[in-house]
Chain A
Amino acid sequence: EAGVAQSPRYKIIEKRQSVAFWCNPISGHATLYWYQQILGQGPKLLIQFQNNGVVDDSQLPKDRFSAERLKGVDSTLKIQPAKLEDSAVYLCASSLGNQDELFFGSGTQLSVL
């Protein structure tokens, strides 16, 4: 079974630039999550989708972050404009339903200079 796919693996940008991350969940998984993991901290939930609807985006900095999940499959997370403190690993995860085990992708490591 293919896992959660994320791209790119690494990204380096300058502050005030924009960046986008892509996630392809496991086939058939209705629930998709984006987490931010800052160095030395545990992952923090940014947004949770159920199919193509948002379940929880309470910790998403909406002035600069946006996410969408078109057609209830792939998802993109965008940051515009980026700040130095956005340097982190951005993890995508998916689960069959919102009570089931999460499967994580390998993440995108973002460095903002």
Chain B
Amino acid sequence: AQSVSQHNHHVILSEAASLELGCNYSYGGTVNLFWYVQYPGQHLQLLLKYFSGDPLVKGIKGFEAEFIKSKFSFNLRKPSVQWSDTAEYFCAVAITGGGNKLTFGTGTQLKVEL
């Protein structure tokens, strides 16, 4: 079975700082990769996804993620964070062709300070 590791559980940054959140998965076959975000008091929503093609994926609100197959990684990045990016971020993986059964990481709580 696949698993997902998110190494940073809590991250605190100042506005305009750069962000990189780590995500590694374990599975030997082809996977689809996702980042979800949960803003305070809101529901989980999709930030970006990778199915195939260009390993650098751009999502909403200036976020991007890079799939490095050799490292089983799908790290999330943003060049300059804003206070409104304060949220919990979840990495998730699904086996390609496996019908959308997402396995989530434990999440990273990001706090952006003014």
Contacts and interface: CB of A to CB of B under 8 A. Distances in A.
Interface residues of B, number: 18
B101 A56 contact: yes
Contacts of A42: 4, 90, 92, 104-107
B46 interface: yes
A45 B102 contact: yes
B100 A105 contact: no
A78 to B, nearest CB: 22
Contacts of A102: 46, 100, 102
A3 interface: yes
Query: How would you classify the secondary structure of chain B's contact residues: helix, strand, loop or mixed?
Result: loop
A101 B92 CA distance: 12
A61 interface: no
A46 B68 CA distance: 30
A1 B17 CA distance: 35
Q: What size tier do the contact residues of chain A reach? A: 20 to 34
Interface string A87-113: 000010101001111111111000000
B106 A40 contact: yes
A43 B90 contact: yes
A45 B101 contact: yes
Contact of B104 (A43, A48, A98, A105): A43
Interface of B: 4, 42-46, 49, 90, 92, 99-107
23 contacts: A4-B43, A41-B107, A42-B90, A42-B107, A43-B44, A43-B102, A43-B104, A44-B104, A45-B101, A45-B102, A45-B103, A48-B99, A48-B101, A56-B99, A91-B44, A93-B44, A99-B99, A102-B46, A103-B45, A104-B44, A105-B43, A106-B42, A107-B43
What 6 pairs across the A-B complex have the smallest Cβ distances?
A42-B104, A104-B44, A98-B99, A104-B43, A106-B43, A98-B100
